[in-house]
Amino acid sequence: MNMTPLSALLFDVDGTLADTERDGHRIAFNAAFQAHHLDWDWDVALYGKLLAVTGGKERIRHYVSDYLPDYQPPKDFDDLVIALHRSKTRHYTDLLEQGKIPVRPGVRRVLTEARAAGLRLAIVTTTTPENVTALLQFSLGAEAMDWFELIAAGDIVPAKKPAPDIYQWALEKLQLPASACMAFEDSFNGLRSSMGAHIPTLVTLNDYTCDHDFSGACAVISDLGEPDSPAHVFGGNLHGSGYVTLDTVRALHASAAVSSTESSF
């Protein structure tokens, strides 16, 4: 049982707020490779494997080291990775600007309910800050920039998810104990990160993450659902509702097992 009242919702971005990976980040990486005259092409299946490594720069390095045994990196390989990643970020934010990537079912509704109830909202992600800004602006609307009091993103902490560092950083900034929050994640790496920081976590999965191990999550569901399109529940229960409401989140939060070793501020 969790006796601490719920104060804040912490949202992962990629895969959680929106399905950004297959038709967003992947396309942008490939466009950046082409622009740099590299014949690297990340198809849908390969990209699924590469997602094991979070962070775009880290993913490029992982690809080169694990999938291109014959590639001779140039002397300025570090600069190349940075240039590729800059180009990828430009392509990705262009895709968002074109309105290509909508938010997932229930996201806008739950955010609106949480705001009306006075809950605090934060973003906790490994993606680059510009990507978060563009997603909020173009997929939720310019006003959404003011909804989140904190955006914890990118290289703010050196150890990206699955390390708990980014969540710990966010808790410290918010001055909240882990037990006062609910995290929303979509992947094994994301869940390891939030649980590593002892934060109760609700998982909405997607095509890339549906076979991940989500042990320890408060609930595992297809998406947050909508009144006219209920979510599929794979683990936990939505306390009588077919879709996630703020009451559902509060009930899951109250019944979450909380760690006695969590840090408090």
Closer by beta carbon to ligand XBP, 148 or else 251: 148
Q: How far apart are CA 107 and CA 68, in angstroms?
A: 39
Q: Supply the minimum distance, in Å, between the C-beta of residue 121 and Mg ion.
A: 17
Site string for ligand XBP, 174-213 (x = CB under 6 A): -------------x-xx-----------------------
Closer by beta carbon to ligand XBP, 6 or else 203: 203
Q: Is 14 a catalytic residue?
A: yes
Q: How far apart are CA 254 and CA 249, in angstroms?
A: 9
Q: Supply the minimum distance, in Å, between the C-beta of residue 33 and ligand XBP.
A: 13
State how far Cα 134 lies from the chain centre: 15
First and final C-alpha spacing in the chain? 20
Using the rule CB under 6 A, is 19 a contact of ligand XBP? no
Using the rule CB under 6 A, is 93 a contact of ligand XBP? no
Using the rule CB under 5 A, is 21 a contact of Mg ion? no
Q: How far apart are CA 182 and CA 158, in angstroms?
A: 23
Coil, helix or strand at residue 35: helix
Q: Is 78 a catalytic residue?
A: no
Q: Report H helices in 143-187.
A: 165-174
- Cβ atoms of 58 and 193 closer than 8 Å: no
Task: Identify the residue among 6, 56, 152, 183 touching ligand XBP (CB under 6 A).
Answer: 56
- Cβ atoms of 105 and 229 closer than 8 Å: yes
Stretch that binds ligand XBP, among 112-120, 127-135, 198-206, 207-215 (CB under 6 A): 127-135
Binding site for Mg ion (CB under 5 A): 12, 14-15, 186-187, 190
Q: Return the active site residues.
A: 12, 14
